Structure 1
């Protein structure tokens, strides 16, 4: 059993109960059971896409499906035989632009999504007019290499998210080989061409010249300059030097271990050879380290220059913005004019407030204060009366009748004197006010 078949049989849609229908020639379902027909076609398209993405396809490609009689044979099972309608599935996918012929996809200048609306409307119109019908069913397999659009879109989404936060120029430029090794190590050479073509033409997130790949900053034109190519080559050289340095370090460690083992075994010739090899590797390592340092300095200088260009560009744009804003304000003369108008309107508001205040009712502050004083005195008298009442309640209840009369008389006298005092205070207040 092939890896592809094993992968398919583990999928939920290809459970044993459905296999007879999926492996049958289900073309007749298009007229007798349209839902069943589309369900079978969708199941096959989904599983083939998933199998290639998982690396279980008929070859090393993950984005490109190679269809042939060998593919059909690799899907053969003992119970159901070969999938008889696989050619129909491929034809349907090609008709719906879910698959693209590889050569057509790479050579096409216009985006594949340009077909989505206009092509669909045109096909619908031709079909309604009777000029064009549904895709032709075929019993045999359609041979060729076809780009699976769904897989390409998923791979492009991952790459785009990786570069979403990269603003540094040197971080966004690669040679094609360096890009493949760092960001698409599991893709074949064919897959890489398809992915870069999709990113540059359909998604417009990068520029691709065949040897240089540059992911674009917002508003940056999709062109590869000589500077970009130079940066790409420098990055590739830096990567090669780093790889070589790691290998030399490993070789030096191995020579040291070999020399130590030879010394332990008292094998002088082998120990000498190992030490000589180590010395040679150390010399080369020193040279490589020096070269890498020089390349890193050049890269840092290029990045600094790029940052300076970006800074100057931003400052230039900012100066234009300020110039436009100052023009809208009208310069110093315009500001002075606005301030003069503001002062005039402020003076007008103050004059209006003054006129409103002078035309209002005049209130005698002394009369108000006298009235407040009288009200406060009444409150004090009430408080004193309440205090006397509480003191009387505290006197023992058992008294001679004569004593009660004396107390009542004293209370009456106290209240009378309080009233007289209040009247005298009122008369004094009125006399003061009258004077």
Structure 2
């Protein structure tokens, strides 16, 4: 059976299209510090390529002899692993790391874990330096944050020594954090046990969330520290107190309560009992195998001893399973009570909002009656206006009809009909006359019928009709 080999940094670089062009690789591996001054546009393109490449190296876990999935180790091993036969090692790697750090793409690991300020907070340079000075000397802080520039006189070896170290890759960290937060949001907020973790359970949870991202799980202890710091300080979705880790649902839950600690202890006990059950089951299987082996060797005394041991383990297993059932039922009751409390808080909040709305002046009965009366008057006024407009329209129509003689209209229609080119010009005269006069007779009959059925309406006609 063939096993899939782990991808290497060399195979990844080989598949990059840039490595098919020697001039392009020479540009990427050249001294970017000089290129930054002589060819700014080319330097910008090269820096973008290095940013993507270093991020992918970390995300795909291609760093040589490293287990971290969120931290880039800038050292001689990385430089040697990036070496390409046709161009050698990347001469501008120190410049790339320096500029990516200034752009916030990379963060020095030590500063990331020790700083109390969020990486998303702007702040002044002096403020950021002050935070570092708590733990480091003044000049080391200025040099590490690039607040003093000696690029013109600094040798490549000195610059490489200055940037050598461990860096958090923010984009990879953010993608994993987003995935964890999205997964947590899909879970019911009414389940308290789902939001409380120990360090080990959080590690397993984070690794399960990273599977869909590809290539991240498992996480190292450094990765877990970085992830916890980022979620708690920068994203503010975690509360950490001692060994208790809690996903904060809202501002109310931004602290570890006695209830949270009780749930934490209960979950930890359940995990320990689960491990004991697994260990007991393995021991029972081992005793069974030993009993069979002893019987095959006709060593009944040994088989009898192993059988007694297995009986004791089976009794212990039943006891632990019963304990697990009780603990699980208790956890379910706690989750249900927590959910009921959250529902009651929602009911209370809804009743307060409803009471506040109903207490407004516009929601009082007198005001409602007044508004409805005004609406009724408005509807009646609109209906009266519609009736008056309709009567005025009929007056205009009747006036226009009186000014034009209907007989003259019919006579003119007959003349227009005769002047038109008839499609029956080849027919005999009587037949053609019959076809020409038929539409006119029909139109005349319709017109006369309409005159007889539509009485002339005047402003006083309706009043006369009402009196009659």
Decide: shared fold, TM above 0.5. Answer: yes
2:59 aligns to what? Answer: 53
User: Secondary structure, in 3 states, of the residue corresponding to 1:208?
Assistant: strand
| Residue 320 (structure 1) aligns with | 352
Distance 1:269 1:76, change over 3 A: farther
- Runs (4+) of structure 1 exceeding 6 A deviation are 131-138, 347-354
Aligned to 1:44: 50
Alignment of 1:4-403 (within 5 A): 4-15=9-20, 17=22, 18-58=24-64, 59-115=66-122, 139-140=156-157, 141=160, 142-166=163-187, 167=189, 168-184=191-207, 186-328=218-360, 334-335=364-365, 338-339=368-369, 342=372
RMSD: 3.5
Q: CA deviation at 1:158?
A: 1.2
> Post-superposition shift, 1:229?
2.5
Shift of 1:341: 7.1
Residue of structure 2 in register with 1:411 after alignment = none
Deviation at 1:209, TM superposition (A): 2.7
Instruction: Provide the rounded CA distance (Å) in 2 between the counterparts of 1:79 and 1:95.
Output: 30
Distance 1:132 1:55, change over 3 A: closer
Residues 330-370 of structure 1, C-alpha deviation per residue, up to 9 Å, x if partnerless? 78xx325634774698599889999x99xxx9xxxxxxxxx
Q: Kindly provide the CA deviation profile for residues 207-251 of structure 1, in whole angstroms up to 9, marking residues without a partner as x.
A: 223522211224444222232233223212212222332332233
Residue 321 to residue 254, structure 1, CA distance change in 2 (3 Å):
same
Query: 8 Å contact 2:361–2:367 — kept in the other structure?
Result: no
CA apart distance, 1:160:
0.9
**3-state DSSP class of the match of 2:350?**
helix
Distance 1:315 1:283 in 2: 48
TM score, norm. by length of structure 1: 0.69
* Structure 2 residue matching 1:97: 3-state secondary structure: coil
TM-score (structure 2 length as normaliser): 0.64
Equivalenced residues, count? 345
* Greater shift in the superposed pair: 306-315 or 142-151: 306-315
Distance 1:139 1:342, change over 3 A: same
CA contact (8 A) 1:64 1:148 kept: yes
Contact map agreement 1:91 1:135 (CA 8 A) in 2: no
